[in-house]
Structure formats: C-alpha cells, structure tokens
A = this chain, B = another copy of it.
Amino acid sequence: MRLHIHEAAKKLGTTPRAIRFYEEKGLLAPVKSPENGYRLYDEADLTRLRWIVALRDLGLPVAAIKEVLDEDPDDVRLLARLDEARQEIYREWINLSQALKSLDAVLSAGYVRRKLAIDDVAEAAGRIRDAAMLRDAWRDRMGYDRLAADYREQAVTEALRPYVDERAYEWTHAAIAQWLDPAADERGVDLGAGTGRLTARLSALGAQMTAVEQSAEMLSVLRELQPEVEAKLGNLLALPFQEPTFDFAVCSFALHSLDARQQLLAVEEIDRVLLKGGRLCLAGAAAINPGSPGVPPDIDVRPDRGCALFPIEADAIERQLISLGYNVIQPTAAKGIWLLFAVKRGG
C-alpha cells in the first residue's frame, strides 16, 4: 500500500511542503506514479520519513539527518552522529540560556529602578556576547580540523611530556582521588577525560562517573574500556548538561587546550553543572609558558593550528571561583603540578 503525499504528511504529523523539501535535499526519493506523476510512499519511505521528522523535532539540522540516514540504522556510528549534533544544540541552548538570564537580570533591575540605563544593558549584553563568540569560535575550529582531532589530542599529551612525566601524572591523580574521597553513588564528572584514566580511578572508588571528551575517537576507546561510565561528547565551553548534576568535577590537564578567556568560561560552565556543596579539582602543569625557551621547538603552540598549549591562568581562575562563591583550597604544589581544590558553597 502506497500513500500519497498528503496522506503521508498527515500520518507523520508534518506537511507536504516539508516532505518535498526533504526530497529536494536528497533525504528520500519516492517513486512517482507513471500515470499522473504523483509521489508514492511505501513502507520504507515512511520509515525514513519517521526518522527525519523525529530527528527534526529533536533539533537536528537537515544536513545532519542526511548523514545520520546514510549510516546503517543499527550501527553504533548513528549514535556518534547524533552525539555530534547534540553538541551543536547544547551550544545554542547555552547561549540562549545565558541571554535569557541576562535579560531577566536587566528587567528585574529595570523594574526596581523604574528605568533602564543603556550602560547597564550594554554591559550585560556584552558579557554574554563575548561568551557566545568564544563558544562559536571553538565550534568553528572543531569543525575545521575535526580530522586532526586525534593528532591534536596526541599533540597536547606529547607537548606536556617535558613537564608531566608518568610519576607526576600518578601523583596528581592520587592527590585528586585522596582529596575527593568519593562516597558510594556520588555523581562525578571528568571533564576532558581523554581515554579515561582518572575516570576509571574514581569509578573504582565507587563514584558514579560521567566522562566528557571532545574527541569521538577517545570517547569510543573510553566506552569500550569502561562500559559502566556514562560517556558524552562535549567540550569544556558547552558542557552537555542542563542542570546542576554532579557532586564533584575534575578537570585534569585539559585546561591547557584553552586560552585565558576560554579557561574562565570553562570555569563558569563547570560551576553551572556542579551541585551546591559540590567539590572541584583542577590540575595542570605549572611551568608551561608557550614561546618560552622551555617549550620544545617541535611543539606547535599556535592556537590557529589547533594544537595550542596554553599556560594555566591560575590567579584569574582562583579569583573567578571566589567570586562564584567557592571556598578555594590551594594544596601544596609538587613535581611541577598545579592543583586547585574548591568547594561550592550552599547546599
């Protein structure tokens, strides 16, 4: 039984024009009746259409859906495509959320004072625009050199080698695990988890871990090694969570891939997903200074090439955390490692 376009549209809760548009974009190709040229939709077409309509409703752009549909629907790669699309949607959602938050603040203040001052409004708007531009720029860079993702991850690790050897890694992870001392079933997130070495350690201590990692390759390794960990594609400037979710967060040597402003935005993002009373651990290499004589010449530290290696903005991060209402505990640094522990007040 084959349906005409209006019947198909009605059945799927969409419109004939939308269906023709999907066809125009190459997402489906129904047969046409030889007698009158009408489009005829069979079972396979309708299933395809159901996918298209559902994924559109979930916010995927048509181009992304086309890629998704080209995969075998039973393949895990379909999930990876959706994961990528989710990143984009989160980026937009966070930008919109921040804009609304600022608009709320502007309006509340405005009603109290019975008028609006352009300086206040422009200042509030400027801050969120800067944040949005940082997020969007990050996205563009991601898209541009997605193919180099593995190389870049390797590059960061490689670049860190002179500063962070195996013993320093081990010492850092041990210090984090000791301070966090996760209780059973506490929820924790490892931001920039890589293949999940620290994630695994905290998971083994009983925490219910989530890993966020921007490299799909790394993430699939992590998924195989640690099926009990929830793994999400995402980056530090747009974390894929809507609400405060975690009892603790760790970010170990991942801030080096962000420049100064991005690091502060990342701290804001971490704060957004951390519960009140939550604990935070940041770790980095203390001695890195790109362009300084210490940096090996074969390491490319130019951000436009995507393998940047930035120093930790320790002071700015600490000030930021204090202004966000954290108690900051600066533990003893050792072995060239910068560590920061903090507790979010309230709760």
Contacts and interface: CB of A to CB of B under 8 A. Distances in A.
Given A106-B82, A111-B223, A129-B57, A242 B118 contact: no
Interface residues of A, number: 55
Interface in A107-136: 107-108, 110-111, 114-116, 118, 121-122, 124-126, 128-129, 132
Given A47-B118, A79-B116, A97-B93, A104 B126 contact: no
A140 B126 CA distance: 31
Given A59-B100, A96-B93, A125 B83 contact: no
Interface in A166-225: 223
A104 to B, nearest CB: 7
B96 A82 contact: no
Interface stretch (A23-31, A48-56, A338-346): A48-56
A91 to B, nearest CB: 11
A118 B82 contact: no
Number of copies: 2
Interface of A: 13, 47, 50-51, 53-55, 57-59, 73-76, 78-79, 82-83, 85-86, 89-90, 92-93, 96-97, 99-104, 106-108, 110-111, 114-116, 118, 121-122, 124-126, 128-129, 132, 223, 230-231, 240, 242-243
Given A51-B118, A89-B100, A90-B100, 12 more contacts: A13-B129, A47-B118, A51-B121, A53-B125, A55-B121, A55-B125, A57-B125, A58-B102, A74-B115, A79-B111, A79-B116, A82-B106
